[in-house]
Amino acid sequence: MGRQGARLRAFLAASALLAAGAAGASCYSQGDGADPPLDRFYFPVGLRVSHGGSVLYVANADFDLQYNGGTLQSYDLTLIRRHVLEVIKDPTNPALPWVRPPYPSKESCLAGEAPALQPNGSRQPLGETCAPPVRSEFYQRDTAVIGAFATDMLLSEPPTVAAPAVPRPYDRLFIPVRGNATLTWGNVARDTVDAIPPDSRDVAAYAPWRIDCGQSATSRRCDARHQVGEDPDEVGNTRKLRMPGEPFGATLSEDGRTAVVTHQNDTKTSLFLTGIGPTDTDALTGTAEVVPSLQFVLDGVAVGGVGLAAIPHDPAAFVDQPVPYPAFLQTSRANAQIELLRQYPDEAVDLVTLADGGTRLPSGQPTTPSTLRRPFLTREILFPITTSPSGVDSRDLAIDPTPRLACKARARTPDEVLACARKPSRLFVANRSPAALLVGEVGGTNATTGAYDPDLVTIFRSEPLAAGPSRVFLAPIVDSDGAYALRVFVVCFDAAQVFVFDPEAGRLESVIRTGPGPFAMAFDPFDMAAVARHDKVEDDKRIAGLTRYRFGYVASFTQSYVQVLDLDRRQPSTFERVVFTLGEPTNPKGT
Amino acid sequence: MSRYVKGRKRLALGFLAVLAAVAMAVVLFACTQTPTPVPVRTFERAQKVDFVCLRMTKDLPDGTRQVIRPEGRPVNECTPTPADEDGASFTNQLFALVTQTTRGEVAVVNLTSGIIIDVSAKTPSANFLPVGANPTDIASAPDGQMTFVASAEPNKAAIYALPSERILGDKAAVRSYDAAGNAIDVPLPPDPLGLPTLASWPVCALEQAPAALSIVPRAITPGSGDPGYEVVAVLPGDRLTRAKVVTIDPKPFLRGAGLLPADAGAVVAPGSLAPCVVTSAVELAGEDLVPPAFQKGPTWPNGVPYADAGALDLTCEVPAHSARCGLPPCCATTTDGGAVDAGACARPEGDAGTIPLDVGPLEAPRVVAIARDEQTIYVADEAVPFVHVLDVSTPGAIRERAPLLATSLTDPSRPVGVRALAVSPPTRDYEKFLYAVDARTGSLMVFDVSAPSDVVRTPLTRPFPELNPFQSPDRVAFNSPVVAVEFARADVPVTRAPEDVTGLTGALCNPNPNADPNDPGILYRANSAAPSAAFGAFGPRRLRGVFAFVTLANGTVAVVDVDDWDAPCRRPARLTGAGPTFVPPQGETEPAYSSIARGQTATGTDPYSAPIAAADSTSDEAYFPVSLPHRLRSAVFLRASTTTGKQIPYVSTAPVVERRGVQLATAGNGSEATPILEPTIERPAEAATGPGVRFSFEVPDVHIDQDWSITYEGALPGFEGYSGALATEDGFESLVVRQPGARFCAKGVEDWDLGRERAAAVVSALQSAGRRPPAEAIDRRMADYVQITSDLLGPDDDYWKIGSSTEAGSCWKDIEAAPGRARYDLCNATFGAPGDESPGRDFPILEAYDDKLVLGRFFNFQTTPNATREVVYKHPTNARSLALAQCCFHGQAKFTVRGGGQWVTVGSSYGFLSHLVPGAGGRCEPSCDPREALLNARAPGVPRAATGDAPAISRDSVLALRNPVFSFFVENGIAVVPDDNGGSRVVDAPPLRDTQWRFTTRGQFQSLSVAIGGQSTSVSPQSMRFIPPLGQVAVVDAASQGLVIVDLRTVSIARSPFF
C-alpha cells in the first residue's frame, strides 16, 4: 500500500482516537496539547471588574480545545479606561497600542458620521470605525491556567459587616469549569476605589492584579486545592461527595457564604461553602484560610439547569418572625418553569444572628451540636412560565431589588419601612422560545393565605428580543443629570446584540450591536443602593475627566475580544455605543 | 491496483467515513447544541398598528379610471375584499401601518390586496418607512391624511408625521384589466419629492419619550383649515419629569407636509425636530389622591337581565356555612347542619363594607396606554393604581376627573398597576365597560363607564363568586397574561325582504313561545332557517352583540361575552323539572301555566320570561345562563349530543377502587367490605346511584379535565421536597416541626381541634340521618398526622458518634444508646426504612400553624397503621418517642401530612382544595370568606345505614364532599363479626389507609379562541386593533407572525399572516 497505506493507517488511528476520545471523555481535554495563550483572550466567558474598578478579571474557556486548558486573567482596567477616554476624544491618537492603525478622522467620529467603508473600499468591521482594536497584551497583567470549558465567573462581594480585628485582605473568584467538573477558585487582593495602580506592567506592582489559585511559577496551572468538587475527600466535604458533570450556571448566596452551581445535562444542583461571608473574619479559622468545599448535591431539579439567582431578603420585612433561609431561583432549558430552591443549615433550631453577622444557638439548646451542620438544598416549588406558548429554554435571570431600596430610602415611618421592605423585587429572565425577556416580580402576598411571601414569583410580561438571548445583567447608566439610572442589559448571543431595557419605564431603551457571539458582560463598579437612590456618579480621582462609573464591557465569545460600551447619556454621540475594542477580533480556527 | 485492493480501500474509507461521522456526531452531540432556527422575516419586533384608507384611482369623464397619487380617506370608505374579487384593483384600498421597533421603521401592508408594500424598488428585500428609533405607538388621523408615530429614541423623543400620500414609495401599483381580461399592474405616479427618508417627515420634539398616542375628534370651523382632530400624546413620566397627557395641534405637521398653506401659522418642517405645538397639557394625579379605603364594586350583570328570570334560583346553589363564622345557614333545604368547611353566607352579598387600601409608598405616576371614548380619554398607570379619566371635550383645557381605582379584593394592599385598556361600545342597555389589564396578574378588571362620574369607581365584581372560586371575584383571569384587549360590536342584520338592504340590528334572540310574531328575535332561534348564507348558523361562533377580544401572551386570542344577543336562546329548553314540553305559539291553545315554575307570566313575551322555550328554539344546553357577561365564550354547545358527543363534564370510565395496587371487589364475594363512592342526591330529592359523583352545572368554566383520587388517610400534596426542623419547646411532651416555607394552612393541614369539630358534626349528622354511629372514637382520630419520610443516615455516618447522652437539652439524654452504631440500630428498629411505613413514623398534629406543626404521638401505634389508634395530647409519656424522632433524624426530616380518619380528594389540576387560613397567632382555621366555601377536599367515612330507608345524602351535608366540580359521599364497608351470643352481627368496617377511588373527568370547558401562531411557539403578541370596515381584528406579533388578521364572522385567521 505504500504511502497511501500509511496515510490510511494514520487516518484510521486518528479517527479511532477521535472516536475513542469522543465516546470516552466526551469533548473535554485530557491535559494534553499546547499551553493556552496567557496574554490574550480565548473564548472569554466570564468578566468581572474588581470592586475598586482597577482590574478586569477574565475567564477564558478554550472552547475548541486548541489548548490544554482555559485561563483566568487580570487586566489593568485603569489604563484601559484612560485609553477609552482618549479614543473617544481622538480615535486617531498615535500613542495607543493599535492592532490596526486607525484611519478615520477625529472630526467625523465626534460628529457621529464616521464612514462605514475603509479606504480600500472594504466594509469596516462593526463597532471598529471609531474604535479600532488595540492589543490586549498591552493591558494584561496576570494569568493562571484552569480547566477547559469554563462557563462563568463569580466575584465575592466585599464584607458588609466590619470586623477589623482580622481583616480579610482579599476577594475570591469562582469559576465553574465543565472540563474537569470543578468549581475553580482563586484569591485576589482587594481593590478599593481609593487605590491608585502604578504605571507599571509588573504584576507585582499592584496586588489586585495578581491571581492566586495555587499556580506554579512555571506551568501557571491552578493547583488541586483550588479546584473543588472533584475529590470526595477534600477538606470540608463531610458527605464525601463528588460534583456531577457539566457545571454551568452559578451564583453566590446573598450573604456570600455559599455558592450554588447548576448542571446543564443533569437533574442536579450543587451547593458549596465559599469559605467567606459578609464579615472579614468568615474566611479565617484562627489564622488558617477557610477553603471552599462541596456540601450537597440536590437531585430532582429540572434537567437543563442554566440560570441561578439568589433572592434578596430584607430583614425589615419580617416582623416577629425569622428571616427566611437563603433561597435561589433556577431556570431550565427543558421545562417552562422557574424552580425555587432553598438552602438550610441542617440544624434543628433557628440560629440567632449576631450583630457581626455570625450565628449562635438559641438559649436553652445544648452546646454540643447534635448534627454536623452540613448545609443542604431543597426544591420547594415550581413557578410555571405562562407568558408564551412554549416558555422553555430559559437561560440567565436577574433579580432587581431597587424598588425596595428606593422606597426604603424615602420611607419615614416604621409602617412605611415595613411596606417598602415588602415591595417586590423585579425579575428578568432571558428566554429563547420565543426570544424574549420575561418580566416579573419576586415577593408579594400569597393569594391563598394573604400572608407576605418573599419568594413568590410572578411572571407577567414578555418583551420580545432578537435571537439567542443568553445573559441578563443589571447595571446603571449615567443619566442626563449625572445620576445613576438602572438598566437591564440582555445579551443576545445569536443576534450579536445587547438589548437595553429601562426597568423603571418598563420599556426598551435601545439595541446595541456588538461583535459576534457576545456572552459575558461586566461594568464599572457601582453600589446598587446608590443606583436605587439615583445618587450622582462621583468623579474618578484617578483619571481626570472621567466619572467613577461610565463603561460597560462585553466579551465576544466567538471572536475572543472585549468591547467597551459608553453608558453616559450625557455623551449623545457615544451613548450606548461601542467606544473601544480590546484585543483583535479573531475568528475560531477552521472558520 | 487490483479490484480487491480498490474494494478494500473503498471499504476502509467507508468504514473510516462512518467512524469519523460517528465520532463527529458524538463530539457534536456532547459539545454543541442544535442552533435555534431563526425564521426569516421582514418584520422585526413589530409592535403597534393603525390603518389608513387610500384612494388610488379616480374616475374620468370618459368612463375610464386613472391611477393617481394616493389620497387619504376615512377608514370607513374602504370595504372588505370579497373572496371572489381582486382587491388590488379597488379604488379605495386599506393599508395597515405597523411599527418595527428594532429598526425604527413603519411597515406598510395592503390589506385589500394582501401584500406587504416594498417602498423602494431599487433596494433589495422589503423596505419600510424610516422613523425615529424605538417607535412606541402609531395613530392615523380620522380623515386618513396623516399618520403619527411616537418615537422614544434616547435623547430624541419625537412625533413623526407620515403624510398618507407618501407612504407607498415607488413600487406600488393598481391592478387593471385590459379588454381581454388580462391583469395589468399600473404603477402609481412617482412621488415628486422622491423616496421618503427619515428627513422627509415633519417631526417635532417632545420633552420626554412618548408612550402612547390617540386622536381626539374636534369640531371643524369652516374655512379655518382645521383637520377636525387633535393628537393626544401620553408622556409616561420618568425620574426627572412628571407624567403628562398633552394635546398637540396637528396643523403645523400638515403645513410642514404641504397639506395646508405654510403661511397661516406654526410649521413643523420635515426633519426639523422643532418643539411640538402643545395646545393643552395636564400633569396626572398621583399618590396624593389615592384614597385610604375603597368600597367593593357592584356585581356585574348575571346574564339574566329581567326580574322574572325563569325558574333559576342561584341563591341556594351554595352550601351552608360553618358555625364558627357566626351567621345562620342561608338555605333551609339542607338536610343537616351543613358542612363544617363551608363559609357561605357568612357575609351577605354586596356588604363588604369599606376595605382599607394600604398600598404603602408609591412611585410617581407612570402612564403607559390610552383608550378613547368619544371626548373622554382613559390612561393606564403602572405605578399609581389609577386609570386616569380625562375630559378632553373642551379644546385647550384637558380636565382630569375622578379616576377609576384599580383595586384587588384578594390582595387589597397591593398597588395595582394597569398596563393596557379598552372601552366597549354601548350594549343594548347603553352600558359601556372598560377593561383594564392588571399589570401584575395579567387579568382583566371590569369597570362600568356608562356615564361620566366624579366619584371614584372600583372594579365590578363577579356574581356568585363561590361557584368558581378559582377566579378572582373582581377579575376575569386567563391561563396566560393578557397582552391586549379590544372590543367589537358585530351583528348579522335581518333582512325581511330582498329590497331591504339595511336590515335590523340589535335584536335579541327570543325563544319565548309567546313572542310577538313580528319580533325579529324569532329569526335568530336555533331552528330558524337562515335568511342568507352570511347570516351564520346559530351557535357559539355566531357573534352577535358586543364582545371583547383578548390577546394572551401565549398567542391566543380569546373571545369574552359582553352583550351576547343570542344569549336568551343559549339555554336548556326547559328551566324547570315540571310543566309542559311544548308551549304553542301565541294565538293557539294556552298552556297550563299552573304547572310552570315561578317567573313566567301568562302575558310575558320577552326572551327571558320563558321557563319552557318554544320547541327547538334554543341550544338546549346544560347550563343557564350559558352566555354570561364578562365570561369566556364557549367554543361549543355545552350539551351531550349524539352528533357532537359529550361536551359537558362526565366521568370518562367507571371509577375503580384499589389499595396499594390491588383492586377491591365492588360486586360479589368480599364486596361488602369495600367502601362505595356514591353521588349525592339532586335537589329535589332523587335516588342516588353509584359508584360515581354528581357534577355541578352552575358555571361551565370551572370544569377542567383531570384525574381524581379519593384516598382514605391520603397524603396532602405539596410537601415534597420540604424538610422540617424538629425541636421541642416543652421537654418532648410535644415535638415541633418547623418549616416556614411549607405554608401548612394554605395546604389545608387540620389539627386536632379542627378534627374534633369535624368529628362532632359528623356524629350529629349520622344520628340525624339514622345511620350507625362510627365504629371508632373519631373525635380522637380525625386529626391530620405527620409521616416522616426521611431515610436514616447510614450506619457509618459520623453523625451517630456525636452528641452527649447526659447533657440537658440533648435529644440523646436518657436514651440508652452509646454513641456509635448502637444509636443507629436503635433508630432503625424504631423507625425502619421509609418504604416500610412503620406506624412509628406517624405523629398526630396537635396544633397546626402556618409555619410549624406541634406533634403528639399515637397511642397503640405499634399495631398496624390502619388499626384504631388514638391521639395522645402533650404529655410527659411522649418524651421518649419524640426525642427519638428528633435524634434519629438528626433534627431535620422530610415528611408528608396525611388526613386522619377521612377521605382525601386530590385532583391532578386542582390539587387538594382547602380554605384554611392562618388565624390568630398563625393557627390554621377555616376561612369565613363565602367565596371559598366550596374549596373542600375531605369526606368522612359514612357508616352504612342499618336499614335501607335512610335519607339520601345531599351535597351540602357534612357527610358529603362538595367542591366546585362535583359532590359525593363514601359509604364504609361492613363486616360480619361474632356476637356475644354465639351468633354474628354486622358492624361498620372503616376503610384501610390508602384505599383509593380513582376516576377521570372529561368534558372540560373549551373557550372560543384563535391561536395566532397556529402550531408555532414563536409568538409574542404585542397589541391588537379592531378594523370596523372589515369586521376583523388585527393582532401584531413581535416574534414571527407579524400582522395577523382575525375574522369575526368565522372567528379564525382571515388570511396568511403578514411578516
DSSP symbols for B649-679: -EESS--EEEETTEEPPSSSTTGGGS-EEEE
Q: A372–B136: do the CB atoms touch at under 8 Å?
A: no
Residues of B in contact with A367 (CB under 8 A): 807
- Helix count and strand count (H, E) for chain A: 6, 34
Residue B409 CB coordination number (10 Å): 21
- Choosing among B743, B914, B1023, which should be mutated to test the A contact, i.e. which has the most A CBs within 10 A? B743
Q: A506–B851: do the CB atoms touch at under 8 Å?
A: no
Highest mean pLDDT among B128-137, B173-182, B346-355: B128-137
For chain A, what is the radius of gyration of the CA atoms?
24
- The answer, yes or no, to whether residue B31 has pLDDT greater than 50, is no
pLDDT in tens, B867-914: 578 899 999 999 999 999 999 998 888 999 999 999 999 999 999 999
- Is A441 touching B (CB cutoff 8 A)? yes
- Bridge-based pairing of strands B892-898 and B715-716 is antiparallel
- The answer, yes or no, to whether residue B207 has pLDDT greater than 60, is yes
pLDDT in tens, B404-456: 999 999 889 899 999 999 999 999 989 999 999 999 999 999 999 999 888 99
- Is A3 touching B (CB cutoff 8 A)? no
More reliable by pLDDT, A377 or A352: A377
Q: How far apart are CA A418 and CA A314, in angstroms?
A: 10
Please tell me which of the candidates A1, A372, A449 has its beta carbon nearest to residue B745: A449
- Bridge-based pairing of strands B203-205 and B274-275 is parallel
- The answer, yes or no, to whether residue A161 has pLDDT greater than 90, is no
Q: What is the pLDDT of residue B641?
A: 81
- The answer, yes or no, to whether residue B328 has pLDDT greater than 60, is no
| Burial letters B413-427, b for 16+ CB under 10 A, else e | bbbbbbbbbbbbeeb
- The answer, yes or no, to whether residue B4 has pLDDT greater than 70, is no
- The answer, yes or no, to whether residue B533 has pLDDT greater than 80, is no
- How far CA A181 is from CA of A248, A508, B863, in Å, comes to 9, 38, 50
- The answer, yes or no, to whether residue B312 has pLDDT greater than 60, is no
Is residue B531 classed exposed, middle or buried when 0-12, 13-18 and 19+ CB atoms within 10 A define those classes? middle
Residues of A in contact with B442 (CB under 8 A): 387, 460-461
Backbone angles phi, psi at B879, to 5 degrees: -55, -50
The answer to whether A153 and A45 have CB atoms below 8 angstroms apart is: yes
Q: What is the pLDDT of residue A98?
A: 92
- Is B273 touching A (CB cutoff 8 A)? no
Q: B918–A509: do the CB atoms touch at under 8 Å?
A: no
Residue in chain A nearest B1041 by alpha carbon: A434
Q: How far apart are CA B230 and CA B235, in angstroms?
A: 16
- Is B410 touching A (CB cutoff 8 A)? yes
**E strand map for B39-172:** 46-59, 65-73, 92-100, 105-110, 115-117, 129-130, 135-140, 146-153, 156-163
Reference B511, options B574, B592, B568; nearest CA is B568
Q: How far apart are CA B375 and CA B397, in angstroms?
A: 12
User: Quick one: angle between helices A402-410 and A414-421, nearest 10?
Assistant: 170
Measured between CA atoms, how close is B231 to chain A, in angstroms?
Answer: 22
CB-based contacts of B781, cutoff 8 Å, min separation 6 = B755, B759, B868, B869, B870, B871, B900, B901
Average pLDDT of chain B?
A: 84
- Is B1013 touching A (CB cutoff 8 A)? yes
Q: What is the pLDDT of residue B315?
A: 42
Residue in chain A nearest B16 by alpha carbon: A12
For residue B625, cis peptide bond before it (omega within 30 degrees of 0): yes
CB-based contacts of B299, cutoff 8 Å, min separation 6 = B349, B350, B460, B461, B462, B463
CB-based contacts of B645, cutoff 8 Å, min separation 6 = none
Residues of B in contact with A423 (CB under 8 A): 360
Q: A434–B1017: do the CB atoms touch at under 8 Å?
A: yes
- Is A236 touching B (CB cutoff 8 A)? no
Q: A386–B45: do the CB atoms touch at under 8 Å?
A: no
Q: ∠ at Cα B437 (B436, B439), nearest 5°?
A: 135
pLDDT in tens, B378-410: 999 999 999 999 999 999 999 999 999 999 998
- Is A572 touching B (CB cutoff 8 A)? yes
Q: What is the pLDDT of residue A337?
A: 95
Measured between CA atoms, how close is B143 to chain A, in angstroms?
Answer: 31
- Is A509 touching B (CB cutoff 8 A)? yes
pLDDT in tens, B246-299: 999 999 999 999 999 887 789 999 988 999 999 999 999 999 999 999 999 999
Amino acid at B589: T
Q: What is the mean pLDDT of residues A261-289?
A: 82
Q: What is the mean pLDDT of residues B292-308?
A: 79
Measured between CA atoms, how close is A387 to chain B, in angstroms?
Answer: 5
- Is B442 touching A (CB cutoff 8 A)? yes
Q: What is the pLDDT of residue A360?
A: 53
Q: What is the mean pLDDT of residues B508-527?
A: 89
Q: How far apart are CA B457 and CA B478, in angstroms?
A: 24
Q: A15–B810: do the CB atoms touch at under 8 Å?
A: no
The answer to whether A180 and A230 have CB atoms below 8 angstroms apart is: yes
Q: How far apart are CA B815 and CA B1020, in angstroms?
A: 64
Residue in chain B nearest A575 by alpha carbon: B154
Residue in chain B nearest A534 by alpha carbon: B239
Q: What is the pLDDT of residue B3?
A: 44
Q: B239–A441: do the CB atoms touch at under 8 Å?
A: no
Residues of B in contact with A464 (CB under 8 A): 45, 1020, 1022, 1038-1039
| Burial letters B823-840, b for 16+ CB under 10 A, else e | bbebbeebbeebeebbbb
Q: B810–A368: do the CB atoms touch at under 8 Å?
A: yes
Q: Which of A546-550, B199-203, B807-811 has the lowest mean pLDDT?
A: B807-811
pLDDT in tens, B678-700: 988 754 334 445 688 988 888 89
Average pLDDT of chain A?
A: 86
Measured between CA atoms, how close is A375 to chain B, in angstroms?
Answer: 11
ipTM of the complex: 0.86
pLDDT > 90: percent of chain A: 64
Q: B554–A19: do the CB atoms touch at under 8 Å?
A: no
Residues of B in contact with A511 (CB under 8 A): 102
- Is A510 touching B (CB cutoff 8 A)? yes
Q: What is the pLDDT of residue A163?
A: 52
Reference B988, options B754, B777, B693; nearest CA is B777
Q: What is the DSSP string of B849-864?
A: BSSEEEE-EEETTTS-
Q: B12–A576: do the CB atoms touch at under 8 Å?
A: no
- Is B368 touching A (CB cutoff 8 A)? yes
The answer to whether B494 and B536 have CB atoms below 8 angstroms apart is: no
- The answer, yes or no, to whether residue B310 has pLDDT greater than 50, is no
Q: How far apart are CA B297 and CA B475, in angstroms?
A: 11
- Is A460 touching B (CB cutoff 8 A)? yes
- Is A19 touching B (CB cutoff 8 A)? yes
More reliable by pLDDT, B773 or A555: A555
Q: What is the mean pLDDT of residues B149-172?
A: 94
More reliable by pLDDT, A33 or A366: A33
Q: A569–B19: do the CB atoms touch at under 8 Å?
A: no
Q: A364–B30: do the CB atoms touch at under 8 Å?
A: no
Q: CA dihedral defined by B687, B689, B693, B696, rounded to 10 degrees?
A: -30
Q: B807–A368: do the CB atoms touch at under 8 Å?
A: yes
Q: What is the mean pLDDT of residues A54-77?
A: 95
Q: How far apart are CA A98 and CA A96, in angstroms?
A: 6
Please tell me which of the candidates A416, A479, A507 has its beta carbon nearest to residue B360: A416
Q: A349–B727: do the CB atoms touch at under 8 Å?
A: yes
Q: How far apart are CA B157 and CA B454, in angstroms?
A: 34
Residue in chain A nearest B726 by alpha carbon: A348
Q: ∠ at Cα B628 (B625, B630), nearest 5°?
A: 170
- Is A436 touching B (CB cutoff 8 A)? yes
Q: ∠ at Cα A47 (A170, B154), nearest 5°?
A: 125
- Is B804 touching A (CB cutoff 8 A)? yes
Q: What is the DSSP string of B136-163?
A: EEEEE-TTSSEEEEEEEETTEEEEEEEE
Cell (9 digits) for A330: 433556577
Q: What is the pLDDT of residue B503?
A: 60
> Can you tell me which residue has the cell 480547566?
A147
- Choosing among A415, A460, A494, A565, which should be mutated to test the B contact, i.e. which has the most B CBs within 10 A? A460
Q: What is the pLDDT of residue B613?
A: 86
- Choosing among B554, B797, B882, which should be mutated to test the A contact, i.e. which has the most A CBs within 10 A? B554
Residues of B in contact with A534 (CB under 8 A): 239
- Bridge-based pairing of strands A425-432 and A435-445 is antiparallel
The answer to whether B838 and B832 have CB atoms below 8 angstroms apart is: yes
